[in-house]
Amino acid sequence: MKNLKLPITIDPSRSAQRKLVCEGYFEVSGMNRLLAVCDAQGEQVQVNANFSVDEVGLVVISGSSSATVTLTCQRCTEEFDSVLEVDFTFSPVKDAEAAAELPSYYDAIELDENGEVNLRELVEDEFLLEIPLIPRHPIKDCQAPSDSVWGELPEELEKPNPFDILKKIK
């Protein structure tokens, strides 16, 4: 099986016309924002991305990726490994106005000045959304005593809005 290094940016319209299927990897070392918040296991992130045109003529980028990262439990401060698995379905847009008109089942990804999208950033953003705001072990694996001050967190911290995380990152 071929294991190709994927291009960081790609022209989605041209790729969709060719019904391109990408299977390959990105170097984790290029994902600085991800590495700022966790350690990644391994040097490559496998990515699968398909380019197509839907029945109303919209370009669609769909795919999946996974990465194993080391997070620090905020309850007991021990490190633990977590597998981040993401599935995505994007449609490239020129501007915010076009993004607002997209059907809700597509996420919008903005085209750059060359009409390309940054596939590596797209995947990295998806991983960042998967990382919990307050990483913690599953309760059975956690070393912290049950009466620890970290044992219970307020309700609103349990369910972070993923879009808030993305805003902070950007």
Binding site for Zn ion (CB under 5 A): 73, 75-76, 137, 142
Nearer to Zn ion, 42 or 145 (CB): 145
Quick one: 115 or 145, whose CB is closer to Zn ion? 145
**Rounded to whole angstroms, how far apart are CA atoms 64 and 49?**
7
Cα distances (angstroms) measured from residue 8 to each of 3, 51, 90, 112, 167: 15, 15, 16, 13, 22
In whole angstroms, the minimum distance from the beta carbon of 83 to Zn ion comes to 17
Shortest spacing between CB 158 and Zn ion, in angstroms = 15
| Least Å from the CB of residue 141 to Zn ion | 7
Tell me whether residue 111 or residue 144 sits nearer to Zn ion (CB atom): 144
Least separation in angstroms between residue 71's CB and Zn ion is 10
**Of 75 and 120, which CB lies nearer to Zn ion in the complex structure?**
75
**What span, in angstroms and rounded, lies between the C-alpha atoms of 168 and 70?**
21
Write down the least CB distance from residue 28 to Zn ion, Å: 24
Helices vs strands, H then E, count in the chain: 6, 9
Tell me whether residue 140 or residue 170 sits nearer to Zn ion (CB atom).
Answer: 140
Distances (CA, A) of 72 to 19, 22, 86, 131: 41, 33, 20, 11
Half-sphere exposure of 79 (CA within 13 A, CB side): 10
- Please say whether the beta carbons of 22 and 46 come within 8 A: no
131, 62 Cβ separation under 8 angstroms:
no
